[in-house]
Amino acid sequence: MGEGDAAATTPSFEMTWSSTTSSGYCSQEDSDSELEQYFTARTSFIRKPHKEKKDEQIDWDKPVLSQTEIEQRIKEYNSQINSNLFMSLNKDGSYTGFIKVQLKLIRPVSVPANKKAPSIQDTRKCSSRSQAVKRRTSFYLPKDTIKHLHLISCTRASEVIEALLKKFMVVDNPRKFALFERTEKDDQVYLRKLSDEEQPLRLRLLAGPSEKALSFVLKENETGEVNWDAFSMPELQNFLRILQREEEEHIRQILQKYSHCRQKMQEALATRTPG
């Protein structure tokens, strides 16, 4: 990216793939032929992940920096990184840089079936985005997909979420998702949900480039059970069909396993002499 881009005064987003894992999908229309295109996902959208982290807030100092302190922090930050993802100080006092966001979504997301990217007006009007798309396709994003975003210091967490959804052409309401900060301390992992107004690049600068000190994760915006009222009827019907396919596949695997065991036992019995 050129220096002219880094000095932009408006939020800038640049994302690059770091995962190419394919995922299953199915149309939300009632056509059985189109449903046949769906490939059973490895993980159910309502299955909760193995509890390996502490979802607790970890408190570390987030001071308000003067312009001189910001300039010094940027110099220290750039001296510590091993890539070209530098931070740059702009003439107006703002600064630009990169953050990395890991997508850890459990449920499938919805995109237009024609794979047409939403317009700028659509991204600004979240409520109209779902109304503008009459036909959708649901699919699982590749597990642990990582995106690098180039943005300005005043960019808010809510804008980061919207930019990620726009990049993937996801038409689900941005309120269904949340941006978390992930911190490792004393062999424990802590997650804290960012408020809409928090500035991820500022947090990145304060924490430094260490991924253990701070990283960002996009997850579903929920703390307990799934809020089914937040989904439309086509989405709920689609989820039921996905679950049915996963259940049928699970039953098939169990029957195949025990059929194989039965065959092996019968072969063993046939080779033995009675008595």
Strand partners, 100: 148
- Could you write out the DSSP letters of every residue in 169-222? T--S-GGGEEEEEEEEETTEEEEEEPPTT--HHHHHHHH-S-TTT-EEEEEES-
C-beta separation of 136 from 110 below 8 A: yes
Run of H or E residues at 33: helix 32-35
pTM for the full predicted model? 0.57
The CA distance from 220 to 177, in Å, is 4
State the average pLDDT over residues 228-253: 86
Residue 134: the pLDDT is 56
Q: Where are the domains of the chain?
A: 67-109+135-224, 226-257
Residue 45 has pLDDT above 70, yes or no: no
The CA distance from 239 to 221, in Å, is 18
Give 70-79 pLDDT, tens digit per residue: 999 999 999 9
Token digits of residue 164: 């990620």
Question: Quick one: which of 85, 121, 103, 236 has its CA closest to 168?
Answer: 103
Token digits of residue 136: 């959708």
Per-position b or e across 7-36, b if 16+ CB within 10 A of its CB:
beeebbbebeeeeeeeebbbbbbeeeeebe
Give 108-146 pLDDT, tens digit per residue: 888 887 654 444 344 445 444 444 445 777 778 887 789
Token digits of residue 147: 């995106």
CATH of domain 67-109+135-224: 3.10.20.90
